[in-house]
Structure 1
Amino acid sequence: MKITTIALAGNPNSGKTTAFNALTGARQHVGNYPGITVDKKEGRVRLDGREVHIIDLPGTYSLTAYTQEELVARSYVVDERPDVVVDVLNSAALERNLYLAVQFLEMGVPVALGLNMMDEARKQGIEIDVARLSRTLGVPVRETVARSGEGVKELLQDAVEFGDSRSKQPWTPLEISYGADIDPVLRAMTARIESEKFLDKYPARWVAIKYIEGDEEMMRLGRDAGPLALELEAQVKEVADHLQSTLNTYPEAVIADYRYGFIASVLRDGVVKRRDEMTDRIQFSDRLDKVLTHQLFGPLIMLGLLYLIYEITFAIGEIPMGWVEEMFGWLNETASAALPDGLLKSLIVSGIIDGVGGVMGFVPLILFMFLQIAFLEDSGYMARIAYMLDRVFRMFGLHGCSVMPFIVSGGIAGGCAVPGVMATRTLRSRKEKLATLITAPFMACGAKVPVFILFVGIFFADNEAAVMFSLTLGGWVAALLVARLLRSTLIKGESTPFVMELPPYRIPTLRGLLIHTWERTWQYIKKAGTVILAISILLWVAMTFPELPDTQVAQFESQRQLITGQMEAAEAEGHDVAPMEEALAAVDAEEAMAGLRYSAAGRVGTAIESVTSVAGFDWRTNIALVGGIAAKEVIVSTLGTAYSLGEVDPEESGSLAERIANDPSWNPARALALMLFVLLYAPCFVAVVAIKQEAGSWGWAGFSVVFNTILAFAVATVVYQIGSL
């Protein structure tokens, strides 16, 4: 069976990933902001008896290797040589989107164009002569609306047929004139590259263009390939100096100008028309942006919307949250009644039900939070948040593109630091990238949210939304201040310019919102049922073994026998035995607590208690925080297990929240110190690995663990000490 390989390319926000989902049925999250696709995704579809292999390349504006997205897209096309590249374009911004298509054509790769978002283009009064555009460029062109699937299958059919027709032909690069200053040098460089068979897996003229554009990756490959690289670099420097001295410009700018000139010539003579009545009309998105991105009102509206998310979440989500807690309470009581006393009962009740149940209880709140976040993403508002925050970020030595890693990491509570760290690939400057990598884990990710919800509900029940909102802002403030510190000391350097395309506002589809909400919620549930379950069992083992020595057990048993004898004597004489029952319960509680302290985990928690006590953390909290290094959700599950093991009668002890509320050692100051520590301390293990991969060394990953933990402990200590006054 013949297999056709298609690479799906396009600018961020062109609807490329939506088209990929429509073609393959892949359930991949589609966010309405740049940087969501950082690796290629694969899918397969059958078309007229053949198999079509589709690669979803990262969204990119060009093929010059400024970012990892551009490098990944370019490397795949050159190294894997797909049968055809399908370039998905935003029809309402055709001139800008054709810039990438022209670069593919300059490589010589067979290209098919999908003019996407045609419904929005028509609303803006834009009409495109598809047939004329196809004839001018010599490639298939098809109108599509990826959200509804309109034209997507036809585009795939066109691409497959075009790939078949070009399958036995060599790649034929498009040649564009770049003017009298560059063309002679370009011809000379091309001739030398061809004669030396230099980097011959690339088209010779394209290699020369990349050199003139100052493509660092291509120059690095050239230096490894042979001595001709130095000659080419010398020619590039000569033309760059000439352009600087005569026109006060640089080669890359000239090439970009001529490419856009070529695109303008393609689109003239009626290829793109605007209806006269639409010419002077201010578009809906522009009118909204005058308010929503206003220099003064825009940030206030943004803060109001973020606060509203928490108000809605707590107002609606607490009712189903109570149902889930009642269900796990029933499971606790049922298991306790059905199982005989012993290790199995302790494992199931304390290790599994109370451990995992503490995490699962927050599913309803997290579901409502994810639903609202999905609405902001799919509507196009997330990109506006990045745009507005760029001005602020520059003051702290960060780049506007750092906004998206922060948001993905939990800048709007509920994200995850792992994809947030991976989203730093959109940053061109390594120094800005490192500052973002270190600070993105300060955000209120979905794993930290259960900890916040637990303690906010206990100690700040009258101001839940306000405290949650403040914790989220606290993550942003800490990230910006630390970034400023790092950019002024360890990673000094100039900021790079920020360019971002604002997509038009859209009304999200109900199906899309439900899919995105469920995918994130299911990831949380799946993590609770797998990773958190496994860690909970391991921590239960650590909190159970080694067991108390027989001598201590005998001492507690002798105390019980003494009190039991006194109770029997009192009953025989008709006296009140309630005080003795309380004394017996106190002995049982003392033994349970002694056993927990004697365990391996208890010893670790106790060993560091002398240090952590200044921040208000006791040995039991220490166990949870150490476990939280693996995954932050474990903090709640570990506290659930620790308090369950420390109780004599779990059936009557209530939920974890009730146990903590009844513990006299807890107070608002201690709870706030703990929440701030959890917000800021070491990233989870998976995030640390991701930081290592993006930073290229374990040094920066280790720095994030040590520095973030020291900072978190300092903040927690100050808050607890001041609050205790």
Structure 2
Amino acid sequence: MNNGNEQYLIALAGNPNCGKTTLFNAVTGARQHVGNYPGITVEKKEGFYQLNGSRLRLVDLPGTYSLTAYSLEELVARDFLVQERPEVVLNIVDACNLERNLYLTVQLLELGIPVVLVLNMVDAAESRGIEIDVEELSRRLQLPVVPTVARTGRGKDDLLSTAARMASEKRGWAPLHISYGPDIDPALDEMEKEIARLSFLTEALPSRWTALKYLEADEQVIAKGRETHPELSSRLEAIAARLTDHLQKTLESYPEAIIADHRYGFIAALLKGGVVTEKNKSDRLYLSDQIDRVLTNRLLGPVSMMLILYMVYQFTFNYSALPVQLVESAFSMLGNRMDALLPEGLIKSLIVSGIIDGVGGVIGFVPLILFMFFAIAFLEDTGYLARVAYMLDRVFRTFGLHGSSVMAFIISGGIAGGCAVPGVMATRTLRSSRERLATLLTAPFMNCGAKIPVFAMLIAAFFPKNRASMMFLLTLLSWMAALFLAKLIRITILKGPSTPFLLELPPYRLPTFKGLLIHTWERTWQYVQKAGTIILAISILFWALMTFPGLSEKKKVRFEEARQEILAGVPPELREMTARGAPEGQTIPAVVADARERILALDHEEAQTALKDSFAGRIGTAMESVSRWSGFDWRTNVALLSGFAAKEIIISTLGTAYSLGKVETGDDLSLSERLSNDPLWNPLKAFAVIVFIMLYAPCFATITCIIKESGAWKWGVFSMVFNTSVAFLIAVLVYQGGRWLGLGT
């Protein structure tokens, strides 16, 4: 079959929810990596598989219904197929919805790409009484057809062997030729001849396929055509315009609609004559339909959704509590160990306060993030999150948004643990520019994965008995704030009607444990990488800002004189005991104990003064004249300022601030414990801080994404100013309202 040293590029293509990624995970397992397509933020997955000496490089393309490039996912998938020219495309189709899924197959065959048709979920089809004659379907399509069950691995070996064999043959494939009727075929033939005669774009695309793209008004192909051969492109556009005008007058339709109808007609004919038979066909409800009767019911659906969300938080906090405690204890022990080993000085301060206490506070919540991502991956892979979007469509339209906005909110962290950057990018599927802008401006209000550790830390400090309930409440508050602010934006600066929403609900499926682990690990590892790079760098930066310029000589002298004054009241023979403590088994005299206590208080005052006199302290203190209305002290101000870079850094900045500002007493308190013991903090202030963090300006990465997606700097600036203003106003109302009710004492 091969010489044993070949590498073959194999692409996996298919509709969303066809089991494509499940199959990809089953084949590649840990031998995969996730990145982005060059210059594009759509996720790219690659993996490798060794088979009989051949190396298969598998690429999981974004899920897409067609290759007509209406969405970014379709564009990315098509560009990869055209430019990379994989040896084989594994086209995964849902055996339960074969007719709809074959629409993409037809387009792949028209592109002239070698295809292996993968009939996935044949077990589900069999349970529904659907029988598919695999051999006859293969004969009619003139390509290999392999039945599989990606979830269990059934058919995987046969599929990979077939793909490797096809790739090694390297034989040319003639593009599929479909008749599109008496109106379109003559125009198509005329365009195809012109394209072939001048070799127009034929180095990458079949002539007939290029002609079809002109008739379908494909903007990308037409733009490339105008750049390559303006004169011929104009002639092709004129033919397409003439045909469009004719179809409008005679059939009140467009070429792309007629083309789609004929493709489905081709598919319907293909599946006739016993290729697909359905036994016991009736109006009976399948399992997914039966479950949906409850989970998407107008009354029971929202209640179920709230219950499921609450269970996610219960699972996350209950099972992650011990691992979080162990990781925090490990970092505390490491800090104490380094504190004992290293000599006094800047290096010790940097390592203990800047790195260990800073980054350690963020890493400490990795177990919590891991458990939460696992729960969210389970909801995603079962198909439940699509039901959430379906149920919330009516609510979103009430607030001037589109049903597709739901997915942008969910991706941003609407269920918890997402990220605003891909959430903002998900707005590309919205056709209305006003709805799109309103969505990308409000999606950052969701509780993303960067905010969750901050909330968890503050909840552990001030609401330890109601962790899951508090996180559930914060999720509801973030949704309410986002929706009401979206309504405000839609009735003021972005007026306009809402557009209709269409969504396919995939059948419920039981996820594979392997798939869940892969999805969980990918997201958790991204969090860890962020902590090890960006957060480490900014932690060191803020350590420097909170360390320099240090105390003035005048203040140093004053503190040293006060220290000597205290020691002067201790008998000379006991002064060493004041500094080092009593030998083991010996009682400390009262005069020494009093002196030690006073020196400890003086050391604490000196550390606090040095911190407040630092560059960061001066900035935070200057902000106190305004921030005091919301209860924020200067250290909180500095931490919130660092959150503009990334929200997780709030923890590391607070950790550094409270590490530099404390006196070394040998304790190993976590940041949560330090805050709960601080007299300037109380539950009311903590809640005001949480509300502010939930709503204020997105991180720099999200701001950059908003500017890129909106195409204007003004929307990035608007997001920073508007979000922060709203956050501060609400935080002031929470804090001042709580004090008025007597809750701040």
TM-score, normalised via structure 2 length: 0.89
In the alignment, the residues of structure 2 paired with residue 396 and residue 185 of structure 1 have an alpha-carbon distance, to the nearest angstrom, of 46
Which of 651, 659, 675 aligns to 1:636? It is: 651
1:355 maps to 2:358 = yes
Post-superposition offset of 1:186: 2.6
Aligned residue in 1 for 2:636: 621
Which of 444, 449, 460 aligns to 2:447? It is: 444
Which of 189, 194, 204 aligns to 1:187? It is: 189
Does structure 1 conserve the Cα–Cα contact (< 8 Å) formed by 2:695 and 2:727?
yes
Does structure 2 conserve the Cα–Cα contact (< 8 Å) formed by 1:110 and 1:166?
no
Which of 375, 393, 398 aligns to 1:395? It is: 398
In the alignment, the residues of structure 1 paired with residue 523 and residue 218 of structure 2 have an alpha-carbon distance, to the nearest angstrom, of 38
Aligned pair in 2 of structure 1 residues 244, 395: CA closer, same or farther (>3 Å)?
Answer: farther
The C-alpha deviation readout for 1:267-326, integer Å capped at 9, x for no partner, is 0011011222x6443211110011111122111110111122223333333344333333
Aligned residue in 2 for 1:264: 268
Give the secondary structure class of the aligned counterpart of 1:651.
coil
Post-superposition offset of 1:98: 0.1
In the alignment, the residues of structure 1 paired with residue 689 and residue 610 of structure 2 have an alpha-carbon distance, to the nearest angstrom, of 25
Post-superposition offset of 1:394: 2.6
Does structure 2 conserve the Cα–Cα contact (< 8 Å) formed by 1:592 and 1:648?
yes
Aligned residue in 2 for 1:665: 680
Give the secondary structure class of the aligned counterpart of 1:180.
helix
1:147 maps to 2:151 = yes
The code of the aligned residue for 1:4 comes to: Y
The code of the aligned residue for 2:562 comes to: Q
Post-superposition offset of 1:414: 1.6
In the alignment, the residues of structure 2 paired with residue 710 and residue 44 of structure 1 have an alpha-carbon distance, to the nearest angstrom, of 49
Post-superposition offset of 1:67: 0.3
Which of 730, 737, 740 aligns to 1:715? It is: 730
In the alignment, the residues of structure 2 paired with residue 42 and residue 368 of structure 1 have an alpha-carbon distance, to the nearest angstrom, of 25
Give the secondary structure class of the aligned counterpart of 2:404.
helix
Please show how residues 127-146 of structure 1 align to structure 2 within 5 Å: 127-146=131-150
The code of the aligned residue for 1:442 comes to: F
Post-superposition offset of 1:146: 1.9
TM-score, normalised via structure 1 length: 0.91
Post-superposition offset of 1:502: 1.8
Post-superposition offset of 1:702: 4.0
Aligned residue in 1 for 2:220: 217
Calculate the aligned-residue CA RMSD, in Å.
Answer: 2.9
Post-superposition offset of 1:73: 1.4
The C-alpha deviation readout for 1:33-72, integer Å capped at 9, x for no partner, is xxx9934433333434333333322110001110011111
In the alignment, the residues of structure 2 paired with residue 496 and residue 102 of structure 1 have an alpha-carbon distance, to the nearest angstrom, of 30
Aligned residue in 2 for 1:33: none
Does structure 2 conserve the Cα–Cα contact (< 8 Å) formed by 1:39 and 1:72?
no
Aligned pair in 2 of structure 1 residues 160, 314: CA closer, same or farther (>3 Å)?
Answer: closer
Aligned pair in 2 of structure 1 residues 152, 370: CA closer, same or farther (>3 Å)?
Answer: same
Post-superposition offset of 1:693: 4.5
Aligned residue in 2 for 1:203: 206
In the alignment, the residues of structure 2 paired with residue 628 and residue 181 of structure 1 have an alpha-carbon distance, to the nearest angstrom, of 61
In the alignment, the residues of structure 1 paired with residue 238 and residue 178 of structure 2 have an alpha-carbon distance, to the nearest angstrom, of 23
In the alignment, the residues of structure 1 paired with residue 179 and residue 32 of structure 2 have an alpha-carbon distance, to the nearest angstrom, of 41
Aligned residue in 2 for 1:379: 382
Comparing 100-109 with 127-136, greater Cα deviation is found at 100-109
Aligned pair in 2 of structure 1 residues 197, 245: CA closer, same or farther (>3 Å)?
Answer: same
Please show how residues 241-320 of structure 1 align to structure 2 within 5 Å: 241-276=245-280, 279-320=282-323
Aligned residue in 2 for 1:101: 105
1:545 maps to 2:548 = yes
Post-superposition offset of 1:526: 4.0
Please show how residues 415-430 of structure 1 align to structure 2 within 5 Å: 415-430=418-433
Aligned residue in 2 for 1:593: 608
Residues matched between the structures, number: 716
Give the secondary structure class of the aligned counterpart of 2:327.
helix
1:602 maps to 2:622 = no
Aligned residue in 2 for 1:116: 120
Post-superposition offset of 1:673: 1.7
Post-superposition offset of 1:178: 2.2
Does structure 1 conserve the Cα–Cα contact (< 8 Å) formed by 2:29 and 2:518?
no
Does structure 1 conserve the Cα–Cα contact (< 8 Å) formed by 2:642 and 2:649?
yes
Which of 231, 239, 242 aligns to 2:243? It is: 239
Post-superposition offset of 1:136: 0.8
In the alignment, the residues of structure 2 paired with residue 222 and residue 340 of structure 1 have an alpha-carbon distance, to the nearest angstrom, of 69
Please show how residues 511-526 of structure 1 align to structure 2 within 5 Å: 511-526=514-529
Does structure 2 conserve the Cα–Cα contact (< 8 Å) formed by 1:37 and 1:59?
no
Please show how residues 554-593 of structure 1 align to structure 2 within 5 Å: 554-568=557-571, 581-593=596-608
The code of the aligned residue for 1:177 comes to: S
Give the secondary structure class of the aligned counterpart of 1:53.
strand
Does structure 1 conserve the Cα–Cα contact (< 8 Å) formed by 2:116 and 2:163?
yes
Aligned pair in 2 of structure 1 residues 488, 164: CA closer, same or farther (>3 Å)?
Answer: farther
Give the secondary structure class of the aligned counterpart of 2:662.
coil
Aligned residue in 2 for 1:455: 458
Unaligned runs of 5+ in 1: 31-35
In the alignment, the residues of structure 2 paired with residue 456 and residue 433 of structure 1 have an alpha-carbon distance, to the nearest angstrom, of 34
Give the secondary structure class of the aligned counterpart of 2:550.
coil
The C-alpha deviation readout for 1:500-558, integer Å capped at 9, x for no partner, is 32222122233333343344334334433443333323322221111112111001111
Give the secondary structure class of the aligned counterpart of 1:638.
helix
Aligned residue in 2 for 1:683: 698
1:323 maps to 2:323 = no
Aligned residue in 2 for 1:7: 11
Does structure 2 conserve the Cα–Cα contact (< 8 Å) formed by 1:67 and 1:428?
no
The C-alpha deviation readout for 1:178-235, integer Å capped at 9, x for no partner, is 2233333333333343344443342232222222222222333333331333443343
Does structure 2 conserve the Cα–Cα contact (< 8 Å) formed by 1:442 and 1:478?
yes
In the alignment, the residues of structure 2 paired with residue 221 and residue 430 of structure 1 have an alpha-carbon distance, to the nearest angstrom, of 25
Give the secondary structure class of the aligned counterpart of 1:181.
helix
The code of the aligned residue for 2:182 comes to: A
Aligned pair in 2 of structure 1 residues 118, 183: CA closer, same or farther (>3 Å)?
Answer: same
Does structure 1 conserve the Cα–Cα contact (< 8 Å) formed by 2:25 and 2:518?
no
Does structure 2 conserve the Cα–Cα contact (< 8 Å) formed by 1:89 and 1:113?
yes
1:17 maps to 2:17 = no
Does structure 2 conserve the Cα–Cα contact (< 8 Å) formed by 1:336 and 1:651?
no
In the alignment, the residues of structure 1 paired with residue 500 and residue 351 of structure 2 have an alpha-carbon distance, to the nearest angstrom, of 56
The code of the aligned residue for 1:262 comes to: F
Post-superposition offset of 1:2: 4.2
Does structure 2 conserve the Cα–Cα contact (< 8 Å) formed by 1:60 and 1:70?
yes
In the alignment, the residues of structure 1 paired with residue 32 and residue 410 of structure 2 have an alpha-carbon distance, to the nearest angstrom, of 18
In the alignment, the residues of structure 1 paired with residue 30 and residue 594 of structure 2 have an alpha-carbon distance, to the nearest angstrom, of 66
In the alignment, the residues of structure 1 paired with residue 400 and residue 293 of structure 2 have an alpha-carbon distance, to the nearest angstrom, of 27
In the alignment, the residues of structure 1 paired with residue 42 and residue 296 of structure 2 have an alpha-carbon distance, to the nearest angstrom, of 27
Post-superposition offset of 1:579: 5.8
Which of 24, 38, 42 aligns to 1:38? It is: 42
In the alignment, the residues of structure 2 paired with residue 601 and residue 328 of structure 1 have an alpha-carbon distance, to the nearest angstrom, of 25
In the alignment, the residues of structure 2 paired with residue 133 and residue 520 of structure 1 have an alpha-carbon distance, to the nearest angstrom, of 40
The code of the aligned residue for 1:684 comes to: C
The code of the aligned residue for 2:81 comes to: V
Aligned pair in 2 of structure 1 residues 485, 48: CA closer, same or farther (>3 Å)?
Answer: same
In the alignment, the residues of structure 2 paired with residue 528 and residue 82 of structure 1 have an alpha-carbon distance, to the nearest angstrom, of 36
Which of 411, 415, 423 aligns to 2:414? It is: 411
